[in-house]
Amino acid sequence: MANLINESEVRSTWSPIIESATGINDANKLAWMSTYCHNHKLYEDANIMSLNPNMNLAGMGKTSFPSAGQDGSGDKAPSLLPLAMQVAAQTVGLDLVPVIPMAGPMGLLSYLDFTYEGGRLDGGVGNNTVAPTYVKTNLVAIDSTDVVNEGTSRIDGKVIYKIVGELAAGATVASLFTPQTDETIELVKALEDHILGFTAADKDGTPYSREAGESTPDKVMGLSLFSKSVSAQTYQVAAAVTREQVQDLKQFGVDAVAQVESVLTNELTQSINQHILGAIRKLGSDNVTEAFGAGNFDLALAAPANGGETVASIHRQILTQILAAANLIANRGRRGAGNFAVVGAQVATVLQSVSGFVANPMSNTLSQSAGAIYPLGSIAGVNIYTDPTLAWADMNISVGRKGDGNGPGLVFMPYLMAESVQTIAEGTMAPKIAVKSRFALVEAGFHAETQYVTFKLDTAGANLISLK
């Protein structure tokens, strides 16, 4: 489904409606929600229910939910744009990752990268055997006269080789290594790895003299466009109420159907939140493992309060560790420092308690309200979120960087945030409601894991605070 309307027109049309319905006024969120609402409206307009022209009055037929290639008993599944807006507004996980709405159930996510003097790993076609200048791999070079070791990748530890020999006619780059396989050989990408001697006179980065600069041809960087195909996945849940519940609850001013739909919406929201958080935690663990070899990015808190050490000063170390994780993201990802952290309830309590610690102050907006859950506030530019599903004793902390969707990291691509279908059971005549959400959570770019860090506070088996 093509989206041909100007983005500014979409924004001006939908932003006031979204702000009025949900209270959202954040510019970034209004931008993607406006695009989503436009796509959603196109979807609704393309599925208009019509009567059967061969009958005076079309019947509903048997009760059934929609399935692949077949409409449900209502002929049209009401997707309920207001419901979709509420799901989008309440899903806090969408504050942690960039959102790019899809206009259909399938999409294409494209991103750019630059390679050092790119050639062809497969040796080209016919006698075109131009090899790339630099590759990285864990394979072993067969002949050191054909390749030169240029060091290791700062991202994944693979060896970077400069190819100085020529390939035989029809040969591939894999012929220079053992075992001979193309699957573990890749081009060296400039946005992830840096080769010091590429623009210089030697591998140590020494600049050219004027004479050498005038006579040495420029080395060329290659531009590569990569695309990832995306298909929407589904979360779905249903519920039913009896006719008696509908009738009796009206006596108390309660709409049973609306209440059930609210519960189903909350179930979808929580599922999407946990799906996003699960992906963030996994990528964060992968990044730490690649950076340190064993995932040992733990903070050991001092148990006794010796000398001038106090409980609050020990708790203050957690803030330092969160900033360390944020800066590790900047060091590994080279796009900027981490700007959010997700913690459990006990860690959140400690952060609230030390947000005004005068002995070692730190700029923060952490809420002192005991009811604060999402978000908790910010500290030194890092937004803190609490995951209430974590156990009280869970000391895991996930730190990440929310980008703009053009760099590496997770990207959330919604197709239909919420679609609601209501039917009436033939036997009991009781209403049944089904709600589903269709979206894709995509690892974009190369080394998406570099934008996240997951670590665990080492408290020697004790709680940070005592509730006795």
Q: How does pLDDT run across 353-404, given as a tens digit for each residue?
A: 766 544 445 555 655 444 334 678 888 888 989 888 888 888 899 999 998 8
Residue 52 has pLDDT above 60, yes or no: no
Nearest by Cα to 417 from 72, 32, 26, 16 = 32
Question: 57 pLDDT band (50/70/90 cuts)?
Answer: very low
Listed by start position, the domains of the chain span: 1-38, 78-105+232-468, 111-227
pLDDT of residue 398: 93
CB contact burial 17-33 (16+ within 10 A = b; e otherwise): ebeeebebeeeebbbbb
pLDDT of residue 297: 63
Which whole-number Å values give the CA distances from 351 to 28, 362, 365, 369, 459, in the listed order? 27, 11, 11, 12, 15
Mean predicted confidence (pLDDT) in 47-71: 49
Residue 245 has pLDDT above 60, yes or no: yes
Residue 131 has pLDDT above 80, yes or no: no
Of 71-80, 124-133, 210-219, 413-422, which gets the smallest average pLDDT? 71-80
Q: Does the N-terminal peptide bond of residue 82 adopt cis geometry, omega within 30 degrees of 0?
A: no
pLDDT of residue 342: 93
Residue bearing the bigger pLDDT, 278 or 77: 278
What's the maximum distance between 2 C-alpha atoms anywhere in the chain? 93
**Reduced to 3 states, what is the DSSP secondary structure of residue 366?**
coil
Residue bearing the bigger pLDDT, 415 or 305: 415
Residue bearing the bigger pLDDT, 82 or 141: 141
pLDDT of residue 358: 46
Residues 6 or more apart from 185 whose CB is under 8 A from it?
Answer: 121, 135, 136, 137, 139, 173, 174, 177
Question: 334 pLDDT band (50/70/90 cuts)?
Answer: confident
pLDDT of residue 51: 42
Of 231-235, 306-310, 452-456, which gets the smallest average pLDDT? 306-310
Average pLDDT, the chain: 77
Instruction: Determine the Cα–Cα distance for residues 83 and 420; give it in Å rounded to an integer.
Output: 8
Q: Which of 205-214, 257-266, 363-372 has the highest mean pLDDT?
A: 205-214
Residue bearing the bigger pLDDT, 246 or 69: 246
Of 63-72, 288-297, 385-394, which gets the smallest average pLDDT? 63-72
pLDDT of residue 18: 79
pLDDT of residue 377: 82
Question: 341 pLDDT band (50/70/90 cuts)?
Answer: very high
Nearest by Cα to 411 from 98, 156, 145 = 98
CB contact burial 279-298 (16+ within 10 A = b; e otherwise): bbbebbbbbbebbeeebebe
| Beta-bridge partner residues of 410 | 443
Instruction: Determine the Cα–Cα distance for residues 432 and 429; give it in Å rounded to an integer.
Output: 9
Residues 6 or more apart from 13 whose CB is under 8 A from it?
Answer: 34, 38
**Reduced to 3 states, what is the DSSP secondary structure of residue 192?**
coil
pLDDT of residue 403: 85
In the chain, % helix, strand, coil (3-state, to 5) comes to 30, 25, 45
Mean predicted confidence (pLDDT) in 454-465: 78
Of 49-53, 99-103, 110-114, 148-152, which gets the smallest average pLDDT? 49-53
Highest CATH level, class, for 78-105+232-468: alpha beta
For residues 79 and 85, the answer to whether their CB atoms sit within 8 Å is no
Of 176-190, 291-305, 344-358, 376-390, which gets the smallest average pLDDT? 291-305
